[in-house]
Chains A and B, each alone.
Chain A
């Protein structure tokens, strides 16, 4: 009787759903709870009519040393930096022999926000403090100490590299004012879709209670309110096996699954705007450009030239899984001896990064491929071109192992090509401590 009533109520509205976005009886046969079952049914139905984006990874927070450093594992600087602090190590022993600088580099970098947290004695990952100071998180500074290594190395062959970077335009921060409209759109879509969705979830739950409660609740419980509460509690919980048992029975019952699909189909029109709005806005924020300006200086410990670099850094993923970073800048090389000359150098560097895994779901150990090129043109010397191929492994969030091979057409002062391979270690303490899942929080 109740089934008939449900059918009478639901059949007219079932035809409101888009023709292609329809829930089918065989969808979602193994979901562990009613929440995941309803969500899976709705998303599967909508996905039939629309394209669903994959996941993306967090790329642009630089945890390695500045590109200017002697033994840097990267040709480009990234537009972002750690929210708190990072460290990187490029050991001489993990670098192949080459005519390029043979040194071990140790870099520490920190945000102005982290320094403020130390001065004010609060936990930099404290919720309110973290979100209260987005501007302080935009400015970061770094120090690299390069120790000359090798049999003939002298301490004076090393250098110090100081860096500072400020994120000027940060389109990928959800707390940024530039994204206020997008946040509004997500919030509005959430509000307008919630009641139909929640109502349908409750309706399906009520219907399943009527049809299948004996599979979930002990028959000795006779009070209907108590039975309902026990039923709801059990089918809500994805760790229990209650919903799995019920789902097996539901899928075998053609009339029952038809009714559930009709409820799902009725709710699809109200969920389409939510899913498309969230995906559109999230994708737009994730693929927004980020512009930084940076200054770094490499000061020789001996009589080597000092180099001062001014650069603009821009990165943007044209699509969510493919990220590009561009550095455009000017280097001034200040000679320290009478036998060498100052140099004014224009510099352009480009890097693309592509994830090698995790297109469907976040990978346990992300792998990414980086391809970079750098060109430098200046007076008092020939042009220098570099190309680099790097694979980065992230065994735990915040801990990266970049393995790179770099080719250069000429090294400083020597007109001969060179090839160098190296393995580095980069640690981002904010990511390491937060162990956060991907969000649109802060500069990505």
Chain B
């Protein structure tokens, strides 16, 4: 893999209290980003192709007004594994930011730079509800 993964923040997962939720932002460089977001129980929560945008935002748990919201689907105490898959065929770089709300705690801030259009990167984030 020729993708470089540069982590500014990586807390290695998220532990969420009952009123917590996660805000996601995926930024892409110009082009045609192809990416997928899913978890162990839902292979595809979001799939993006042919909808170029500089930023995609969504939340898990409670909603952020104006952005798509998806519920957690595990019981408290059970780890769910979320996977963000990015293809570099149409764009050379992504940046993923995950923030625990309402605390505003940064969980993940990682930049990915691909050097080959055949590159694919899968970021794995473990989330547990307390």
Contacts and interface: CB of A to CB of B under 8 A. Distances in A.
Interface of A: 33, 35-36, 39-40, 43, 53, 55, 125, 127-128, 130-131, 174-175, 180, 183-184, 186-187, 190-195, 197-199, 201-202, 205, 225, 228-234, 236-239, 274-275, 278-279, 281-282, 285-286, 361-362, 434, 436-441
Contact of B32 (A40, A239, A362, A441): A441
Nearest to B35: A190
Contacts of B10: 232-233, 236-237
B47 A131 contact: no
Contact of B29 (A36, A55, A127, A205): A127
B74 interface: no
Contacts of B88: 439
A187 B34 contact: yes
B41 to A, nearest CB: 9
A225 B15 contact: yes
B124 A437 contact: no
A127 B30 contact: yes
Contact of A202 (B5, B49, B114, B126): B126
B17 to A, nearest CB: 13
Interface string B100-128: 00000000000001111110111110101
A33 B81 CA distance: 19
A199 to B, nearest CB: 6
B113 A198 contact: no
Interface in B17-35: 28-32, 34-35
Contacts of A187: 34, 36, 47-49, 87
Interface string B28-62: 11111011101110011001111011100000000
B32 A194 contact: no
Contacts of A35: 1, 5, 121-123
Contacts of B48: 187
A190 B32 contact: no
Contacts of B36: 187, 190-191, 194
B90 A191 contact: no
Interface residues of B, number: 55
Ranked nearest first, the 7 interchain pairs of A and B with the lowest CB-CB distance are A198-B83, A232-B12, A233-B12, A229-B12, A39-B1, A194-B85, A187-B49
A437 B113 contact: yes
Given A36-B1, A183-B32, A436-B92, 18 more contacts: A39-B1, A127-B28, A127-B53, A175-B31, A183-B89, A186-B87, A187-B47, A190-B36, A195-B39, A197-B85, A198-B81, A229-B12, A237-B5, A237-B10, A361-B115, A362-B116, A439-B90, A439-B117
Nearest to A197: B122
Contacts of A39: 1
Contact of B83 (A183, A195, A230, A239): A195
Contact of B43 (A131, A191, A281): A191
A285 B48 CA distance: 19
B89 A174 contact: yes
B123 to A, nearest CB: 8
A271 B4 CA distance: 20
B36 to A, nearest CB: 5
B7 interface: yes
Given A127-B54, A128-B52, A278-B87, A192 B43 contact: yes
A197 to B, nearest CB: 5
Contact of A128 (B53, B82, B114): B53
Nearest to A198: B83
A237 B9 CA distance: 10
Contact of B12 (A228, A436, A441): A228
Given A131-B30, A198-B81, A441-B91, A190 B120 contact: yes
A297 to B, nearest CB: 34
Contact of A440 (B43, B90, B115, B124): B90
Contacts of A192: 43
A106 B104 CA distance: 55
Contacts of A184: 49
B81 A183 contact: no
11 contacts: A127-B29, A131-B31, A180-B50, A190-B35, A194-B36, A198-B83, A281-B89, A362-B115, A437-B92, A439-B91, A440-B89
